[in-house]
Amino acid sequence: MEPYHVCRVAVAPLRSEPSDRSEIVSTLLFGDRVLVIEKTEKWCFVKNHHDQYEGWMDHKQLQEITSLQYHDEQSYQYLTAVNFDNRLIDDAGTVYYLSPGSTLPFYQDCYCYLADQRFEVKTTPFIPNAAEFYNRVEATAKFFLNTPYLWGGRSFFGIDCSGFTQTVYKLCGISLKRDASQQVDHGELVDFLASAKLGDLAFFDNDEGKITHVGLMLGNDKIIHSAGKVRIDPIDNQGIFNAELDRYTHKLRVIKRIV
């Protein structure tokens, strides 16, 4: 078996152990490439090409491709756009509903391809451009408002805090690592909250000093983040204040500018 595969379902959970009962550590979206490192009868241990994240998944959710197809970077540029109606139709007439930021491999003339399988793309995809980051980031982030929090989630069916920032950045043409504790290593330090601007990432720690949360700044006094759901809250030097709970919920550690 070739180690090169691509996710062939809209959303596939990546688990910490080879079991349907195991914790979901991340999510693959349609078109995500993976390297299969280990295989059992049902499960594959894979590494995600996009962020090098590893986990177990059901091999039935993968399509084998060749080394040439896997390494052809130019053929994985098109993404599904920021809307709710990203549909694919396979040659059997089955419909797939994709989350924004899903990859459309080998997209050309309204079709994309996984190995020899063809899918008609019913909505207009796009190639993200990092030069348009500041024009796109606020609307892209707000599209996910009220998406439910899901540990390991990376789609509008459910998303966690770092999955949210990673996905918004991906849709705006910039790659981030998967976890908040990894994302904090990106970018330049913003010395003061007052200097924060739209698109900066704010990181929050727990009592042990470990980075446990991340959100996207909408200026220097508001943040959009996934906590219970994707929401907008006020932020000050102490951290995020949740008006519904009437208390601070996250303690500010550091702000980073990636772009």
Identify the pLDDT of residue 2.
Answer: 81
Tokens 């139709």 — which residue? 89
**What amino acid occupies position 147?**
T
Asked whether residue 198 carries a pLDDT value surpassing 90, the answer given is yes
**What amino acid occupies position 4?**
Y
Beta-bridge partner residues of 195? none
**What amino acid occupies position 53?**
Y
Collapsing DSSP to helix, strand or coil, 154 comes out as strand
Q: pLDDT digits over 107-152, tens only?
A: 999 999 999 999 999 999 999 999 999 999 999 999 999 999 999 9
Architecture of the domain delimited by 4-121: Roll (2.30)
Sign of CA dihedral 160, 162, 165, 171: negative
Nearest Cα to 136, choosing from 191, 79, 194?
Answer: 79
**Interior/surface letters 146-155, b for 16+ CB within 10 angstroms, e for the rest:** ebebbebbbb
Q: pLDDT digits over 212-253, tens only?
A: 999 999 999 999 999 999 999 999 999 999 999 999 999 999
Tokens 């008006």 — which residue? 243
Listed in sequence order, the residues at least 6 apart from 231 whose beta carbon sits closer than 8 Å to its beta carbon are: 145, 146, 224, 225
Tokens 């349609």 — which residue? 30
Q: pLDDT digits over 163-175, tens only?
A: 999 999 999 999 9
**What amino acid occupies position 251?**
K
The confidence band for 72, taking pLDDT boundaries of 50, 70 and 90, is: very high
**Interior/surface letters 236-253, b for 16+ CB within 10 angstroms, e for the rest:** eeebbbbeeeeeebbebb
Residue ranges of the chain that CATH labels 2.30.30.40: 4-121
Strands 211-217, 201-205: parallel, antiparallel or unpaired by DSSP? antiparallel
Alpha-carbon gap, residue 130 to 157, rounded angstroms: 25
**Domain 130-257 class?**
alpha beta
Residue 182: other Cβ atoms inside 10 A: 17
Identify the pLDDT of residue 194.
Answer: 96
> What mean pLDDT is predicted for residues 79-100?
97
- Burial of 156: CB neighbours in 10 Å, binned 0-12, 13-18, 19+: buried
Q: pLDDT digits over 20-67, tens only?
A: 999 999 999 999 999 999 999 999 999 999 999 999 999 999 999 999
Q: Ramachandran region of residue 106, left (φ > 0), alpha (ψ -120 to 50) or beta?
A: left
Average pLDDT value for the chain: 97
Residue ranges of the chain that CATH labels 3.90.1720.10: 130-257
Identify the pLDDT of residue 1.
Answer: 66
How far from 201 is each of 125, 154, 198, 213, 238, CA to CA, in Å? 27, 17, 9, 10, 16
